[in-house]
Amino acid sequence: MSKQIHIRLEDSVFDALTKYTGASGQSVQYCVTGALIQMLNKQKSPEKSDSLFSFIDLFAGIGGMRIAFENAGGHCVYSSEWNKYSQQTYFANFGEQPEGDITQVDANSIPDHDILVAGFPCQPFSIAGVSKKNSLGRATGFEDKTQGTLFFDVCRILKAKRPKAFMLENVKNLCSHDRGRTFKIILESLNELDYQVFYRVLDGQNFVPQHRERILIVGFDRKRYGSDIDFDFKITPPDHKPVIADILEQDVAEKYTLSDKLWTYLQNYAAKHKAAGNGFGYGIAPPDGVSRTLSARYYKDGSEVLIDQSGKNPRKLTPRECARLQGFPDTFKIPVSDTQAYKQFGNSVVVPLMENVAKLIVETLNNSAIQDSAQKEVL
């Protein structure tokens, strides 16, 4: 939902704005809205005196990582996200709009921070150029190996700002992408930047009623703490393991119930693949269990996570239920359409799992700082 305002401009300002929009190819609304958001972003709340650390939120999406790291005691000093609908949701919840295309951002302009957080997209890495340089006996660094990928932007910011630690999140398949070569390049690049790296595939189903495996890559600055860093993904699940029934709303609009046509199609599709020996098909989420992984394609038909309804066709989850399935609080605002909301939550993270890992990172930083201080006193 959007609202309208009417403003009066001096002739000179109007003429300048008209000239600018004509040259840039952008609408007046886009330019004025952008200028207002820039002004509001300058009014960011100052860092809290009780903040344990500062962090930046790259490829921020709708802010799942931000919530996790703020809950762990952090203060966000910078965010970046290019999708305009995700920017809308982020602004609605945090009062600031992330900067756009990270590839156009000067790394040195980003504020200093303790922890870099990024759920970077997985892109193909070019092996040909690296292989050619190796055959010529020439050394290659992360810039040669990762140039042209969004992971390169993570690396150049790590190099420029040198945070104490980082946490990267990606799909489980990153490990096997391109026969493992992509992940190998990622680890080599982070090692060349002199970070001690740890990684593990974690499943969010102990924190939310959803089977959702993601790889987390955590690194600590060897220049500060050396290579003898003790870190482990020792997550602490809640006492109560949540189930699907815990996240369901009581009164759900009829529009979320599958039409007869769509329900028939999904049943026939599942039957066809079952006959062929494949496991493809819809998924009815058990009320006392966990669902399949929620994906960004959920808006299309909701087939991976359907809710059974007695005496009628199954239904899709509502956007609020999707938010709960990812561990977002009910206070989280959803200002966009259902279609965009499904995409956003399908692309997001299991917030309480990320919070758990964030606290482990902070604990390790504190312990490493104490050990580093003690060693300096001995010397």
DSSP one-letter code for 120: P
Asked if 302 contacts 321 with a C-beta cutoff of 8 angstroms, the reply is no
Asked if 218 contacts 202 with a C-beta cutoff of 8 angstroms, the reply is no
Asked if 161 contacts 110 with a C-beta cutoff of 8 angstroms, the reply is yes
Question: How many angstroms separate the CA atoms of 240 and 250, rounded?
Answer: 21
Tokens of 263: 């329900």
Tokens of 92: 């609605």
For residue 168, give the H/E element and its range: strand 165-171
Kindly name the residue from 76, 122, 155, 322 that is annotated as catalytic: 122
Question: How many angstroms separate the CA atoms of 40 and 312, rounded?
Answer: 48
The reply to whether 122 belongs to the active site is yes
DSSP 136-160: TT----HHHHHTTSHHHHHHHHHHH
Question: How many angstroms separate the CA atoms of 201 and 350, rounded?
Answer: 13
For residue 165, give every residue at least 6 positions away whose Cβ sits within 8 Å of its Cβ, in sequence order, or none. 114, 115, 116, 218, 219, 220, 221, 361, 364, 365
Q: For 58, phi and psi rounded to 5 degrees?
A: -95, 150
For residue 343, give every residue at least 6 positions away whose Cβ sits within 8 Å of its Cβ, in sequence order, or none. 85, 296, 298, 299
Active site residues: 122
